Amino acid sequence: MTYQTDRLRDLVAAELGRARDRTTLLTEAVDDGDLTRQHSPLMSPLVWDLAHVGNQEELWLVRDVGGREPVRRDIDELYDAFKHARSNRPALPLLGPGEARKYVATVRDKVLDVLDHAPLEGSPLVDRAFAFGMIVQHEQQHDETMLATHQLRAGAPVLNAPPPPAPAAPVTGEVLIPAGPFTMGTSTEAWALDNERPAHQADVPAYWIDRAAVTNAEYAAFIEAGGYDDPHWWSTAGWDHRQAAGLTAPQHWQRDGDGWLATQFGRTTRITGEEPVVHVCYHEAEAYAAWAGKRLPTEAEWEKAARWDPATGRSRRFPWGDDPPTAAHANLGQAHLRPAAAGAFPAGASPLGVHQLIGDTWEWTSTDFHPYPGFTAFPYREYSEVFFGPDYKVLRGGSFGTDQAACRGTFRNWDYPIRRQIFSGFRCARTA
């Protein structure tokens, strides 16, 4: 066994452990009633996410990579996300909290044994190491989903975190990104998922992009200006949805005299004007941008702003360079339970001075979720390929609830344009 392989095993074990610590925190913060209850028809009961994480890990690592006997073949169907809609999951004969905890622990013991004994080096074995990375990301993604479920849960607060850092200097205005091709996507990022691959040239005309995401104060001005009552700013589908769903403000906002209160993880406070708006759907983002005389960036525009280095012409892994995120670069990993004001992470800015592209809130782009040229589904069609098409919009950059293992300059998230229970915000752009 090589030194490098040892390092890889240690890294994978540490990342699996970090993901499990977070899952444990999110599922032990509440009682059994809150674990099994459905907090919103849009979300699974937390106990479903818990056992689903273990079941995916069993399928991919215990059975596929390890070639071991199933731990529990009888529950595969219950935890297959394609077999049961989230709204129907509470009615299933799910494992209870105690059983689910025991199950994920048994699976994890076997996985650590597989990790110790399975070969990771060599050509087909690169894929084996990737399967571990994929499982780490899968658990962290479900942890973010569980965090979104916590945000929908009624009752006293159970999660705590310090407030995000305050800006050294406020960041406003826009930056001109010159026309020209750049490298979009990746063929070299070790843990990049199939939809981020392969690297390819994308040509983008010159555009302006906001240095910061749209803030609560800016969004409140759109509301005060009657933005929700004027179909002029909305697309046809957006206006239909605004009417049908009765949208009047971001999710979790309520009127307080002539200001606004927002509830975050059980705590209700006045909105902080300088912080990025969160819990808006695509249609709301699009309407705001039109009202502001701008538009949403395309996915390529977002990625060029985040990765393109004008000095070298190459694309970076992150806006600040190729080094992984630290607490100084970005608001990630549930370190804080809200997005930070623009200017709070100057070390994370892009070469052209665009701030906080990574972390804080997912950012809606105007692009439908489509494969890149040369896409190959890997390791399963079900990860991304079955979602390609006009139904989903791409979101970029990660939120305060996204772990760095599942976040990079090339990472692509997607959701329906009506969804806003996720930690979604946006920034604006305009054609130069």
- Asked whether position 63 contacts ligand AVJ by CB under 6 A, the answer is no
Closer to ligand AVJ by Cβ: residue 350 or 399: 399
39 annotated as belonging to a binding site for a ligand: no
Closer to ligand AVJ by Cβ: residue 208 or 414: 414
Structure token digits, residue 92: 């299933």
Closer to ligand AVJ by Cβ: residue 149 or 216: 149
Residues numbered 218 to 237 that lie near ligand AVJ (CB under 6 A) are none
- Give the range of 13-21, 140-148, 238-246, 317-325 binding ligand AVJ by CB under 6 A: 140-148
User: What is the contact mask toward ligand AVJ in residues 109 to 138, using x (rule: CB under 6 A)?
Assistant: -----------------------------x
Shortest CB 145 distance to ligand AVJ, Å: 6
DSSP state of 295: B
89 annotated as belonging to a binding site for a ligand: yes
The residue number whose beta carbon is nearest to ligand AVJ equals: 141
Closer to ligand AVJ by Cβ: residue 9 or 22: 22
CA–CA separation, 178 and 193 (whole Å): 29
CA–CA separation, 382 and 143 (whole Å): 20
CA angle, residues 134, 422, 237, in degrees to nearest 5: 115
Structure token digits, residue 86: 């989230």
* C-alpha dist (Å) from residue 392 to 134, 257, 368: 22, 37, 6
142 annotated as belonging to a binding site for a ligand: yes
Q: Do 296 and 429 contact (CB within 8 A), yes or no? A: yes
Q: Facing residues of 207 across strands?
A: 177, 431
* C-alpha dist (Å) from residue 27 to 33, 170, 348: 11, 37, 31
Closest CA to 362 of 399, 413, 412: 399
User: On the CB side of 58, how many CA atoms lie within 13 Å of its CA?
Assistant: 22
Residues numbered 385 to 414 that lie near ligand AVJ (CB under 6 A) are 413-414
Closer to ligand AVJ by Cβ: residue 86 or 336: 86
Closer to ligand AVJ by Cβ: residue 270 or 381: 381
138 annotated as belonging to a binding site for a ligand: yes
279 annotated as belonging to a binding site for a ligand: no
Q: How many of the chain's residues bind ligand AVJ (CB under 6 A)?
A: 6
DSSP state of 349: -
117 annotated as belonging to a binding site for a ligand: no
Q: Facing residues of 275 across strands?
A: none
Closer to ligand AVJ by Cβ: residue 291 or 378: 378
Neighbours of 119 (CB within 10 A): 11
CA–CA separation, 111 and 68 (whole Å): 10
CA–CA separation, 217 and 168 (whole Å): 19
Q: Do 408 and 317 contact (CB within 8 A), yes or no? A: yes
Shortest CB 334 distance to ligand AVJ, Å: 16
Shortest CB 142 distance to ligand AVJ, Å: 6
- Asked whether position 140 contacts ligand AVJ by CB under 6 A, the answer is no
- DSSP string covering 389-420: EEEEEEEES--TT--GGG--TT-EEEE-TT--
Which class for 3: exposed (0-12), middle (13-18), buried (19 or more C-beta within 10 A)? exposed
Shortest CB 141 distance to ligand AVJ, Å: 4
Question: Using omega within 30 degrees of 0 as the cis cutoff, is the peptide bond preceding 198 cis?
Answer: yes
331 annotated as belonging to a binding site for a ligand: no
- Give the range of 36-44, 139-147, 292-300, 302-310 binding ligand AVJ by CB under 6 A: 139-147
User: What is the contact mask toward ligand AVJ in residues 145 to 164, using x (rule: CB under 6 A)?
Assistant: x-------------------
Q: Amino acid letter at 384?
A: S
Shortest CB 415 distance to ligand AVJ, Å: 6
Q: Do 190 and 256 contact (CB within 8 A), yes or no? A: no
Helix (H) or strand (E) holding 181: strand 180-184
Closer to ligand AVJ by Cβ: residue 145 or 361: 145
Q: Which residue among 27, 140, 141, 424 contacts ligand AVJ (CB under 6 A)?
A: 141
- Asked whether position 334 contacts ligand AVJ by CB under 6 A, the answer is no
Closer to ligand AVJ by Cβ: residue 63 or 138: 138
Closer to ligand AVJ by Cβ: residue 291 or 380: 380
CA–CA separation, 263 and 271 (whole Å): 9
Shortest CB 193 distance to ligand AVJ, Å: 8
- Give the range of 141-149, 270-278, 317-325, 372-380 binding ligand AVJ by CB under 6 A: 141-149
Annotated binding site: 52, 86-89, 138, 142, 415, 419
Q: Which residues bind ligand AVJ (CB under 6 A)?
A: 138, 141-142, 145, 413-414
Binding residues for Fe cation are 52, 138, 142
